[in-house]
Amino acid sequence: MHTLRKQIPCLILVALSLALGAAGQSATASVPVPAHVVVVIEENHGYSQIIGSPDAPYINTLADEGASFTDSHAITHPSQPNYLALFSGSTHGVTSDSCPHTFSTANLGSELIASKRTFTGFSEGLPAPGSGVCTSGEYARKHVPWTDFSDLASSVNRPFTAFPTDFNELPTVSWVIPDLVHDMHSGTIQEADSWLQTHLAPYLAWARDNNSLLIITWDENNDAPGNQIPTIFVGPMVRPGKYSQDITHYNVLRTVEAMYGLGHLGNSASATPITDVWQ
């Protein structure tokens, strides 16, 4: 009896460990594994400015065809820390759009590469492959977070002109950053909407037959209270509809991590993956 009493706490710990492990496996299992994910970041507009706007017909078509999150929020203001949060799970204490920065911590790109997958960031207006310049014309490094991480080779930093036309050649995960005119920062909603249709519609048409996903989100809103932003997932694995759960950039990052069995970066560890939008 004495031996049994000693064993009971151990048995409880084993059972608890197994239960937690099963829960983690279940969360991962309930997220698909797309062949490719393309993430596009737009700028400085709130949910109500975009969803239902006659100036954004293409984006609203995507919202109708995919999963549109009605309670999605950015992390902070201004732009740069939100990009860092979505890419690495942390703002790294950045509270401005200052440039340059260098960090040595793990990030989405390095985690993908460590898992034998691939990552590339494609930025409109980047003056040369691998460039670390802070600004060039309508290009802004503050919107290109992978340039800030010392564990990523400069080869992952490419101009949008290098975005493949044969989408089979895409990396596992791509980020696409339009320039300041085409991301709604300096240009109009209509200009950005048209740019997205011109440049991403071919990928999305291909994605529907090739198990691939498009994610469109915004870095932050227009400084309105709550920092609510549009976030849209579109692809053959997505169940169309409006989804009302409260999500942030950290939930989106955690979802991509779950897709590929990656570690949990920074604050994504305490965020839950998005599991209810899949077919």
Residue 138, domain member (yes or no): yes
Q: What is the CATH number of the domain that holds 106?
A: 3.40.720.10
**Domain carrying residue 45:** 38-270
Lowest pLDDT segment from 2-16, 65-79, 205-219, 249-263 = 2-16
Residue 194, domain member (yes or no): yes
Residue 154, domain member (yes or no): yes
**What's the CA angle centered on 139, arms 134 and 142, to 5 degrees?**
50
Residue 31, domain member (yes or no): no
The total number of structural domains that make up the chain = 1
pLDDT in tens, 139-181: 999 999 999 999 999 999 999 999 999 999 999 999 999 999 9
Distance CA 94, CA 82 (A): 9
CA 278 to chain centre: 17
Tell me 187's DSSP state.
Answer: S
Position 2 scores a pLDDT of 46
CA 79 to chain centre: 14
Residue 129, domain member (yes or no): yes
pLDDT in tens, 180-195: 999 999 999 999 999 9
Position 4 scores a pLDDT of 43
Token pair for residue 267? 């604050």
Question: Rounded to whole angstroms, what are the CA distances from 106 to 23, 101, 205, 249, 256?
Answer: 25, 15, 33, 17, 15
